[in-house]
Amino acid sequence: MSTLSSNNSNGDMGPEAVPFRKRVREATREIESQLILEALEKNRWHRRRAAEELRISYRLLMYKMKNCNLREIGQSSRSAAS
C-alpha cells in the first residue's frame, strides 16, 4: 500500500479529506459570488442581462443570489417599507 494514499481498506477517504472538500466548496462559492456581483454591477443590477452575460438561466442566478445573500443596495429597506 502506498504511503501517499489517504484511503483506508474500505475505500472511505481519511479525515483530512473533509476539511479539504469544505475549503474547496467555500472557495468556489466565494468565486461564484464575486463573478455574480461583478456581472450585476456591470449590468446595473439588471438580473436578466447579468444572467445572460454569465450564460446561466435567470432562475439559477436568482437561486445563487439568494444562497450568496446578494441583494441590490437599498432593496431590503424598500421591502421593509411596504
Distance CA(64)–CA(70), nearest Å, equals 8
Q: Domain count for the chain, please give it.
A: 1
Domain contains 56: yes
What residue numbers bound the domain in which 62 lies?
Answer: 19-68
Question: Which pLDDT tens digit goes with each residue over 40-65?
Answer: 999 999 999 999 999 999 999 999 99
The CATH number linked to 54 is 1.10.10
Q: Average the pLDDT over each of 14-23, 27-36, 42-51, 69-78 and give the range with the smallest value.
A: 69-78
Nearest CA to 74 among 47, 45, 49, 48? 45
- Please, what sign has the CA dihedral across residues 22, 25, 27, 33? negative
On the question of pLDDT at 78 being above 50, the answer is no
H or E element that contains 29: helix 17-42
Predicted model pTM: 0.66
